[in-house]
Amino acid sequence: MLNFDNRFLNALPGDSNTSRHSRQVHGALWSRVAPTPVSAPKLIAHSKEVASMLGLSDEAMRSPEMVNALSGNGVLPGMETYATAYGGHQFGNWAGQLGDGRAILLGEVVAPDNARFELQLKGAGPTPYSRRADGRAVLRSSIREFLCSEAMHHLGIPTTRALSLVATGDDVLRDMFYNGDEKPEPGAIVCRVAPSFIRFGHFELLASRGESALLQRLIDFTISNYFAHYPTAEKPIVAWFSEVCERTATLVAHWMRVGFVHGVMNTDNMSILGLTIDYGPYGWIDNFDGGWTPNTTDAGGKRYCYGRQPGVARWNLARLGDALFTLGGEADDFEEALKRFDITYNAVITDAFAAKFGLDRWRSAADGADDGALVDAAFSLMTQAEVDMTDFFRRLTTAHSVEDLRPAFYVDALFDQHRAGFAAWWEHYETRIALNDLSATERATKMNAANPRYVLRNYLAQQAIDAAHDGDDSKISELLDVMRNPYVEQAGRESFAEKRPDWARHKAGCSMLSCSS
């Protein structure tokens, strides 16, 4: 059914200890571990796009062998199961060894078109890296990961994918609000798919332990398999690190474009390929607010709020740079590479903002306009007046006056209070649009391609979760279907574009999320 060729296992050293107990693993990048079987696996949903990318038909997806493999109750021929060792900086502090505590790889598939993808179960039971936790995942967070992985892909943003969502039939105990009140919740397993799940933290762990030879092997493995155009570079590590900086900058600029907040940008949650990875307490901006974080654990420091994401990504890259620098080289080269982050972020975000606002290009004073001031003023007004980000930009495409933007406001009184400010901005904006070297149609097309009509708003995911808890899984596939075409108006699906309803403003899962998942 699937053709496996497990390069990570074959090329890199593993742990000789095959037991499951929690431990520090030295001199190895992985440990063999079998998933722990579940009672009553049921395939709730799957992504037909990911299945077909792997050469799997709908029928194959529903076969008992496949459902068993996707729930950890069996393996397919060629599958080898293992967990990997990584470390990470969590909330700014070095946390030592973390590793795949609740993720188990199933190996690497060679797809019919020869593209390669690793398969990984999230929530398939304990591994040597589970520390004191159970290795499981609850249904609510699995639904969120499954839907958001696919929604991000359809938005055109680099991400790990999700092949399947399986209910386990077993309960998992979670203290959702960290108040000592543990409750049983239904468990689930997502099968994630990506060319590689290597994180910044894999390199950091080896560097922190002075395991230089192994660090060099991991770098060689990463470059030769995933950055194949670099081996000839004069300074391959720096050239490769520069590309990681560029990819990460592009990724975060796109998060900013669509209003995505990752929520836990620890270095163990940063993909070396520049993919969005580890969907936990993420969220989407409703009313625009640079200081908003969806993660309750982050509510005090707001380290991972929307507006700080670019700075945090750069800080994380600097930690990766520190790890690589333990192998030697020139500090200046690493500094130069980090500047690639700034340059790339600036280029991608200004392009994105120009598109979002319908500007022909990003202009500075020398080019006849101060687009930076125009855009800053808009975001500042949107923050003060609590304007819905997604709705605002779609309305801006067709608006003829500030009045046309009114539905994007959450509070009528705030519209009235800020009307004069918006009117002044609108005048500035109209003058700028008049400078455009674009027809009205070209402008609208450009805006609609950068401004999604549908995003996986927190309350939409929560409604699908609530229904699933009541035994109705149909909302999950329906929502996935809406998110397949986020930039296109879908007749009859207007309700999925509605801004956050009042009931969701302070409801758990809709406005705030805990890491406890």
Q: Does 515 bind ligand AMP (CB under 6 A)?
A: yes
The residue (of 15 and 100) whose beta carbon lies closer to Mg ion is 100
- The minimum distance between CB 202 and Mg ion, in angstroms, equals 12
Q: Does 135 bind ligand AMP (CB under 6 A)?
A: yes
Give the whole-angstrom CA distance, residue 197 versus residue 24: 20
Phi, psi of 262 (to 5 degrees): -65, -45
The residue (of 269 and 462) whose beta carbon lies closer to Mg ion is 269
Catalytic residue (one of 15, 268, 289, 388) = 268
Handedness of CA 495, 500, 506, 511 (dihedral sign): positive
- Radius of gyration for the alpha carbons in the chain, expressed in angstroms and rounded: 23
Q: Does 269 bind Mg ion (CB under 5 A)?
A: yes
Q: Does 358 bind ligand AMP (CB under 6 A)?
A: no
- The minimum distance between CB 417 and ligand AMP, in angstroms, equals 40
Give the whole-angstrom CA distance, residue 399 versus residue 311: 33
CB atoms within 10 A of CB 33: 24
Give the one entry of ligand AMP, Mg ion, none that residue 133 binds, where binding means its C-beta sits below a cut-off of 5 to 8 angstroms depending on kind.
Answer: ligand AMP
Residue nearest Mg ion, CB atom distance: 278
Sole window of 112-120, 187-195, 267-275, 456-464 interacting with Mg ion (rule: CB under 5 A): 267-275
The residue (of 53 and 273) whose beta carbon lies closer to Mg ion is 273
Give the one entry of ligand AMP, Mg ion, none that residue 45 binds, where binding means its C-beta sits below a cut-off of 5 to 8 angstroms depending on kind.
Answer: none
Residue nearest ligand AMP, CB atom distance: 101
Q: Does 278 bind Mg ion (CB under 5 A)?
A: yes
The residue (of 115 and 133) whose beta carbon lies closer to ligand AMP is 133
Name the helix (H) or strand (E) containing 118: strand 116-122
Instruction: List the interface residues with Mg ion, window 448-507 (CB under 5 A).
Output: none
Interface with ligand AMP: number of residues (CB under 6 A): 17
List for the chain the helix, strand, coil content (%; round to 5).
45, 15, 40
Give the one entry of Mg ion, ligand AMP, none that residue 72 binds, where binding means its C-beta sits below a cut-off of 5 to 8 angstroms depending on kind.
Answer: none
The residue (of 222 and 271) whose beta carbon lies closer to Mg ion is 271
The residue (of 209 and 484) whose beta carbon lies closer to ligand AMP is 209
Site string for ligand AMP, 150-169 (x = CB under 6 A): --------------------
Sole window of 62-70, 182-190, 236-244, 264-272 interacting with Mg ion (rule: CB under 5 A): 264-272
CB atoms within 10 A of CB 431: 11
Give the whole-angstrom CA distance, residue 346 versus residue 28: 38
Which of 134, 220, 370, 478 is the binder for ligand AMP (CB under 6 A)? 134
* Burial bucket for residue 19 (CB in 10 Å: 0-12, 13-18, 19+): exposed
Q: Does 310 bind ligand AMP (CB under 6 A)?
A: no
- Residue 125 sits at the vertex; the CA angle it makes with 122 and 130, to the nearest 5 degrees, is 90
Find out whether 174 and 62 touch, Cβ atoms under 8 Å.
no
Give me the residue label for tokens 């060894």.
Answer: 97
Phi, psi of 333 (to 5 degrees): -65, -40
Q: 358: Cβ–Cβ under 8 A, 6 or more apart, which residues?
A: 396, 397, 433, 436, 438, 443, 444, 446, 447
The residue (of 246 and 278) whose beta carbon lies closer to Mg ion is 278
Q: Does 38 bind ligand AMP (CB under 6 A)?
A: no
Give the whole-angstrom CA distance, residue 230 versus residue 253: 24
Give the whole-angstrom CA distance, residue 501 versus residue 284: 14
Q: Does 133 bind ligand AMP (CB under 6 A)?
A: yes
Which of 6, 142, 269, 344 is the binder for ligand AMP (CB under 6 A)? 269
Give the one entry of ligand AMP, Mg ion, none that residue 99 binds, where binding means its C-beta sits below a cut-off of 5 to 8 angstroms depending on kind.
Answer: ligand AMP
The residue (of 97 and 390) whose beta carbon lies closer to ligand AMP is 97
268 catalytic residue (yes or no): yes
Beta bridge partners of 30: 14, 84
> Angle at which helices 236-258 and 212-226 pack, to 10 degrees?
60
In 3D, which of 136, 175, 456, 494 has the Cα closest to residue 294?
456
The string of DSSP codes covering 293-324 is --BGGGTTT-TTSGGGHHHHHHHHHHHHHHHH
Which of 66, 264, 323, 405 is the binder for ligand AMP (CB under 6 A)? 264
In 3D, which of 379, 376, 350 has the Cα closest to residue 363?
350
Distance of CA 488 to the CA centre of its chain: 22
Instruction: List the interface residues with ligand AMP, window 100-119 (CB under 6 A).
Output: 100-102
Which of 130, 141, 142, 248 is the binder for ligand AMP (CB under 6 A)? 130
CB atoms within 10 A of CB 213: 12
E-assigned strands of 140-289?
Answer: 161-174, 183-194, 260-261, 283-284
- The minimum distance between CB 461 and ligand AMP, in angstroms, equals 17
The residue (of 248 and 269) whose beta carbon lies closer to Mg ion is 269
Give the one entry of ligand AMP, Mg ion, none that residue 101 binds, where binding means its C-beta sits below a cut-off of 5 to 8 angstroms depending on kind.
Answer: ligand AMP
Q: Does 136 bind ligand AMP (CB under 6 A)?
A: yes
Q: Does 99 bind ligand AMP (CB under 6 A)?
A: yes
Which of 98, 162, 313, 387 is the binder for ligand AMP (CB under 6 A)? 98
Sole window of 55-63, 168-176, 263-271, 412-420 interacting with Mg ion (rule: CB under 5 A): 263-271
The residue (of 150 and 268) whose beta carbon lies closer to ligand AMP is 268
Phi, psi of 318 (to 5 degrees): -65, -35
Beta bridge partners of 105: 82, 120
Amino acid occupying residue 44? I
Kindly list the residues in this chain that would bind Mg ion in the complex (CB under 5 A).
Answer: 269, 278
Per CB under 6 A, residues contacting ligand AMP are 98-102, 129-130, 133-136, 264, 268-269, 278, 280, 515
Q: Which residues are catalytic?
A: 268
